[in-house]
Amino acid sequence: MNTTHWSVENNVDNFEDYPQVAEAAQYIRDNQIVAFPTETVYGLGANAYSDEAVAQIFAAKGRPSDNPLIVHIAEYQQLEKLVAGISKQVKLLITAFWPGPLTLIFPKKSGVLSDLVTAGLDTVAIRMPSHPVALALIRTSGLPIAAPSANRSGKPSPTTAKHVEQDLDGRIAGILDGGATGVGLESTVLDCTGPFPVILRPGGITKEELERVVKDKIEVASHLLEKTDVPRAPGMKYKHYSPSAPLYLVDGEVGWIQSLIDEKRKQGFKVGMLASTETQSKYKADLVLDVGSRNNLDHVAHQLYHTLREFDQSNVDLIYSEIFPQSDVGVAIMNRLEKAAGHHWVIQEKQDS
């Protein structure tokens, strides 16, 4: 397949007037699939009403068909056509966080969306992105757009159009380049269809921010609290976000981590180290990458997937990664790192003093 490339990277206002966006929107209306920027990561979009269009997303990504997709909308009015009800609590959340990186789960109106979008569930995940290019594409197409991240299944999500090309060039109809994404991690997924709200996936919007708005305690899905991979929602059982070389999370002092690296290099392995700005110069390995400062976790989130993909451009056999504090966006960072590592940890034993 020939992939069309459009760039709107340098045009900041009024994307709806740009012929590139109009052309990409026409592709969506023609049931072809197009990658586009959002404020979280690049999405791979399809007409959410069409089985023919949505099926192409699963085929291009190699995504298991029981992993449902998020539907992206640009106007509140679109929501009412797709869902069977909007609770008071959800209205508060929408007012506070849309457009933005919060995905909400709704009871779905039956017979409207392609069943492939929801993988046979009676609920549907919906969000309104804040990226001007994403909003213009949705508005111009006049359709709700189903879009997972625009990567091959299992790989780190793309935060630039170049990442999308690496994974999907020749497999999708088009790529709309709007520059690097902002947040760098996927949206927070919140399920408000049960007796109390539950976070199914941590993201840029934190539990504390959500609790302030709903004035209620928000639970975190139990699989996120354990170090084992217990599936709760569809899609959660799959390994995700991984570079090609196996990744191990290391919990210990720099000197001890260096001894792990030395041991593997002595055995003939090429070792990559995912470090922070504070520690980068302290490691000696085959490739040491700085993912950002521990004092700026938003920046670490922004850089994480790009850094994981950089290891794929090298010939390292294994990667060790430092861990980050589980506060604010650190919860989402550690969730992605744990999945990338398949929950493999190496932990320093405490010495008795």
Under the rule (CB under 6 A), what is the footprint of ligand AMP? 67-70, 105, 118, 121, 123-125, 148-149, 186, 189, 200-201, 233-236
Residue type, 153: S
101 is written with which tokens?
């990186």
Residue 105 site contact among ligand AMP, Mg ion, none (CB < 5 to 8 Å, cut-off depends on kind): ligand AMP
**Least CB distance to Mg ion at residue 78 (A):** 22
> Radius of gyration over alpha carbons of the chain, in Å?
20
Q: In Å, what is the CA distance from 186 to each residue of 146, 182, 233, 255, 276?
A: 15, 11, 16, 33, 21
C-alpha span between 332 and 48 (Å, rounded): 27
Output the smallest distance, CB 253 to ligand AMP, in A: 34
Shorter beta-carbon distance to Mg ion: residue 114 or 149? 149
If the CB atoms of residues 190 and 288 are measured against ligand AMP, the closer one turns out to be 190
Q: Which of Mg ion, ligand AMP, none does 155 bind, CB closer than 5 to 8 A by kind?
A: none
Residue closer to ligand AMP (CB basis): 33 or 200: 200
The interface partner of residue 69, options being ligand AMP, Mg ion, none and the CB cut-off 5 to 8 Å by kind, is ligand AMP
Report CA-CA distances (Å) from 341 to 169, 173, 232, 319, 329.
26, 32, 19, 9, 18
Nearer CB in complex with ligand AMP: 146/285: 146
Q: Give the binding site for Mg ion (CB under 5 A).
A: 148-149
130 binds, among ligand AMP, Mg ion, none (CB under 5 to 8 A by kind): none
Please, what is the minimum distance in Å from the beta carbon of residue 230 to ligand AMP? Answer: 14
Coil, strand or helix at 103: strand
> Could you tell me the smallest distance in angstroms from the CB atom of residue 86 to ligand AMP?
15
Q: Which is nearer to Mg ion, 34 or 90 (CB)?
A: 34
Residue 338 near which of ligand AMP, Mg ion, none (CB within 5-8 Å, type-dependent): none
Residue (54 or 124) nearer to ligand AMP, CB: 124
In which order are the strands placed within the sheet that holds 70-72? 4-7, 174-177, 34-36, 43-47, 145-146, 70-72, 123-127, 102-107, 188-191, 198-201, 219-220
Strand order in the sheet with 318-321: 287-290, 271-275, 318-321, 247-251, 345-347
- Minimum CB separation of residue 66 from ligand AMP in Å reads 9
